[in-house]
A and B are shown apart, each in its own frame.
Chain A
Amino acid sequence: MSEGVSDLGRFSDPGLFVLMSLAAGEKHGYAIMEDIEEVCRVKLGPGTLYGAIARLESRELIEPVLSEGRRKPYRLTAAGEAALTGRLKELESFTRVGLGRLATA
């Protein structure tokens, strides 16, 4: 399922950040942007953020939560959770191997 995130081209990393942010609970665009800045130390531009959101939504990895206000919160779908889990496990394995190689070098 991790292909759902990693094949987003230049939006792969922003897409991963958005999924990561929504793993903590539903958020609207501005809150996602703030959360990513705080947790990932990455400042996403508005165009990039919504490019990622549109791609994730079209792949049904996230979905909007209907609300009464103008802000539209998003949440992870089951497929989004699986994609995020798969991608994080890949990164975990990648990190482990990399750190192992550095330790033995």
Chain B
Amino acid sequence: MNGLSRWMVRLYPREWRERYEEEFLEMLEERTVSFPGCLDIALGALDAWMRPQIVSSGGMTRMLERLRWSVLGVLWGWVLFVLAGVGFQKMTEYDDFVQVAQRNFLVRSAFDAIVAGAWLSFAAILIGGLPIVFVALKSAFTQRRREVMLLFLVPPLSLGAFVGYVLLLTRIVYPAEGRMTIHSSPNIALFSSIVAVFVLAAVASTAAVCRAVTHAAVGENLYRFAFYPAVLAAGAMCVGLISVVVWGVALKVQAPALFGGDGGILATSTAATWLSVVLGMALSTGLAAVAIIRGFSPRAASRTTDT
């Protein structure tokens, strides 16, 4: 009957299962469920459908969920920020931009501030995120939760897939194609495919890690701790965003030909690439800022509970 009773949990509404399924299944594992027990589960499911308001996201649980949403929201924002930042890095790695930065103090300072903000936010994400990942992995191993462990395999597999794809293109496809002009269709298609695989790998990795830590047993204290680095990361992202804006404006003033030229990604407009980067960074920083603002509320509540 236990297999049946476990299956019957699916009869409950989604909201109920999100809140109680894990502990409910844990309880069912510890005792033999008789036929009347199965009937009781069916009646419980019917009751949950008829009175959905009984499912509470209650005090501490709500607090944990909001805090977790906040920390993971900053992580998502940071990953999107990095994707935009990679575009910026790709554009500015060429000699024209390096030389302008060497000649002009404001352009160089803005670029240095972007790099500093990137490293600071990376360090903050590591400081806040590694303890959560460690505890989630540890609990997944001790509880033998294969689904959580498999989710943690997604980032290395994604990285492997991306590296493998780039190697395939650079070692086999590009040499086979011979010389291609930058604006040729094959070149644009291949470059776009690299970008697509990179974005897909980053998004899949982030989604997998978020899902894993959400389903693993990670306590409130770790999220409360991670909130401080998350604030730092969001602040560093703000610095990075402002610096990219300053960099673009300074470039427009100091090197108008380069700013108005086709120094952007795939030899497109520099200004358009810069604007795309600014837009991407603004959206990701906005996401992180919203997550932080939402996170402040449960922190205040938990301090009240502690006293």
Instruction: Check: A30 CB closer than 8 A to any chain B CB.
Output: yes
Instruction: Check: A63 CB closer than 8 A to any chain B CB.
Output: yes
Contact of A28 with B60 in the complex, beta carbons under 8 Å: no
Instruction: Check: B178 CB closer than 8 A to any chain A CB.
Output: no
- Looking at chain B's contact residues, the main secondary structure is helix
- Given A29-B23, A69-B139, the answer on whether A60 and B41 have CB atoms closer than 8 Å is no
A16-53 at interface with B (beta carbon < 8 Å): 28-30, 33, 45-51, 53
For A68, give the chain B residue with the smallest CB separation. B217
Among candidates B20, B31, B139, B217, residue contacting A30 with C-beta atoms closer than 8 Å: B31
Instruction: Check: B22 CB closer than 8 A to any chain A CB.
Output: yes
For A10, give the chain B residue with the smallest CB separation. B47
Instruction: Check: A58 CB closer than 8 A to any chain B CB.
Output: yes
How extensive is the interface on chain B, given as a class? Answer: 35 or more
Most buried by B among A58, A66, A69: A66
Contact of A46 with B219 in the complex, beta carbons under 8 Å: no
Query: In whole angstroms, what is the CA distance A66 to B59 when docked?
Result: 11
Closest 5 CB pairs of A and B: A47-B44, A45-B40, A58-B56, A29-B27, A47-B40
- Given A30-B30, A47-B43, 13 more pairs with CB closer than 8 A: A28-B27, A29-B27, A33-B27, A33-B31, A46-B41, A47-B40, A47-B45, A51-B44, A55-B54, A58-B58, A60-B59, A66-B220, A68-B139
A-B contact pairs, 12 of them (CB 8 A): A45-B40, A46-B24, A46-B40, A46-B44, A51-B47, A51-B48, A58-B54, A58-B58, A63-B58, A63-B59, A70-B23, A77-B59
Question: Which residues of B approach A to under 8 Å, CB–CB?
Answer: 5, 16, 19-20, 22-24, 26-28, 30-31, 33, 36-37, 39-45, 47-48, 53-56, 58-61, 64, 135, 139, 143, 217-220
